[in-house]
């Protein structure tokens, strides 16, 4: 039995295969993630963007002076680390 995909991979996979889910995710990221079982921490804003043939997004972490150590850990691990941390914390 293979391990379950991390929440980020699961959400991206669903967005790739389900046009209605993709549309909801673009319009209401936090609500759609919550509906998919992914907890978004209070005070965190999620912005979902999609690349096109002529536009590609490069996401930089916040400057170090604006981040706490825990935030830096998340930035290094990417969004998947945030989802995994939140999923783990809600299970503990």
Q: What is the pLDDT of residues 33-70, one digit of tens each?
A: 999 988 888 888 999 999 999 999 998 887 776 655 56
Q: Give 1's contacts (C-beta < 8 A, 6+ positions apart).
A: none
Q: CA dist 29 to 8, 21, 66, 70, 82, Å?
A: 12, 10, 23, 23, 15
Q: Quick check: is 39 in a domain?
A: yes
Domains of the chain: total? 1
Range of the domain at 74: 7-46+55-91
Percent of the chain whose pLDDT exceeds 90:
41
**R_g over Cα of the chain:** 14
The answer to whether the predicted template modeling score (pTM) of the entire model surpasses 0.75 is: no
Q: Quick check: is 40 in a domain?
A: yes
Q: Return the number of other C-beta atoms located less than 10 Å from residue 69's C-beta.
A: 8
Q: Quick check: is 2 in a domain?
A: no
Q: Quick check: is 1 in a domain?
A: no
Contact between 15 and 25 under an 8 Å Cβ cutoff? The reply is yes
Question: How confident is residue 86, by pLDDT bands cut at 50, 70 and 90?
Answer: very low
């Amino acid at each position: 039995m293979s391990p379950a995909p991390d929440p980020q991979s699961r959400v991206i996979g669903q967005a790739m295969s389900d046009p209605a889910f993709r549309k909801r995710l673009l319009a209401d990221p936090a609500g759609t993630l919550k509906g998919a079982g992914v907890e978004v921490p209070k005070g965190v804003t999620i912005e979902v963007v999609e690349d096109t043939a002529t536009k590609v997004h490069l996401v930089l972490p916040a400057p170090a002076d604006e981040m706490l150590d825990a935030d830096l850990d998340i930035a290094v691990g990417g969004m998947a680390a945030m989802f995994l941390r939140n999923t783990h914390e809600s299970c503990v």
